[in-house]
Amino acid sequence: MIRVLPDLEALSQAAAVLFVAEANRAINDRGRFAVALSGGLTPRPACQLLAGPPCRDQVPWGQVHVFWGDERCVPLSDPRSNAGWAFKILLSQVPVPEAQVHPMACVENPEAGARAYENLLREFFGDGPPRLDLVFLGLGGNGHVASLFPGHAVLKERERWVAKVSGPGLDLHRVTLTPVLLNRARVVAFLVAGQDKAWVLRQVLAGPRDPRQWPAQLIHPADGELLWLVDREAAALLPSGWVGS
C-alpha cells in the first residue's frame, strides 16, 4: 500500500503510530517485538516522536528487541553510524533493556561482523520463523535500500541473511541485511520524503522491473505487508490513482 502524507511531519507521526501499533500487536501475540531500524535522515523525526510522550508511554519497551537494517563500519561515536544516532535520539530516552539492543559491530572486520550478526539473528529466532515484526527502510537517490546498492553482487544472495558490502563507489565498508531476511518480515515500511526522491520513487514503483538497477524493487515480503509512507513532494511523479489512504 502507498500512503501519501502532507509533509515530513505527518509522515513521521504515521511512522511512530505504526511502530506503537506493531509493537503492541507483536507483544500481545508473541511476547516480544523485533524491529529493524533504518539509517538516513528521514526516520529521525519519527524516532524523536517515539522518544517522547505520548508514544514513549504506549510501548512496552521491556519486550522490545532492536536490530538494524544496515550499518557503516564506523564506531558508534562516528556521526555516520546508524546505531549511534538512534542511541542518541531514541534508545537513550526509553527503558529498553541494553541486552535487547543489537547494533552491528563491524569496525575491525566487516566480514566477521556480518557473520556474527547473522549468528545473533539465527540464535534470536531459534527454531521459529525468522520474521522481524517491523522493518523501517529508506530509499536512496539511486534506488538503493539498506546497503543494497545497484549492481552489487549481494543483490543475488539467496542464502545469507547478513552480508558485507564494499566495492567501487562506496566510501566505507558496510554490513546489511539481505532480501532473504527482509522479505520474511511481517511489516516492511519505506519512509520516503522530499522532492529529490520523486523521480527515483516513480522508477522503483512505476518503472520497468530491474532490481539490479533499482534494488528497492527486491523488497516485497512473501507473507507480510509492504507499506510505503511517502510525503506529497516525494509522491509528485507517481501515476494518478496509485495511492491509498
Indicate the domain borders of the chain. Answer: 2-231
Taking residues 95-102, what's their average pLDDT? 98
Name, in order, each residue with C-beta under 8 angstroms of 92's C-beta and a sequence gap of 6 or more.
none
Of 124 and 167, which is predicted with more confidence? 124
Distance set, CA 169 to CA 149, 165, 226 (Å)? 10, 11, 29
Q: How confident is the model at residue 40 (pLDDT cuts 50, 70, 90)?
A: confident
pLDDT score for 166: 85
In the predicted model, is pLDDT for residue 47 greater than 90? Answer: yes
Q: Which grid cell sits at 14? A: 504515521
In the predicted model, is pLDDT for residue 148 greater than 80? Answer: yes
Q: Is 49 helix (H, G, I), strand (E, B) or coil?
A: helix
Mean pLDDT of the chain: 94
pLDDT score for 245: 47
pLDDT score for 52: 97
Order of strands across the sheet that contains 174-177: 70-72, 174-177, 162-165
Task: Give the whole-number percent of the chain exceeding pLDDT 70.
Answer: 97
In this predicted model, what pLDDT tens digit does every residue of 197-230 receive, in sequence order? 999 999 999 999 999 999 999 999 989 999 999 9
List the CATH code of the domain at 2-231: 3.40.50.1360
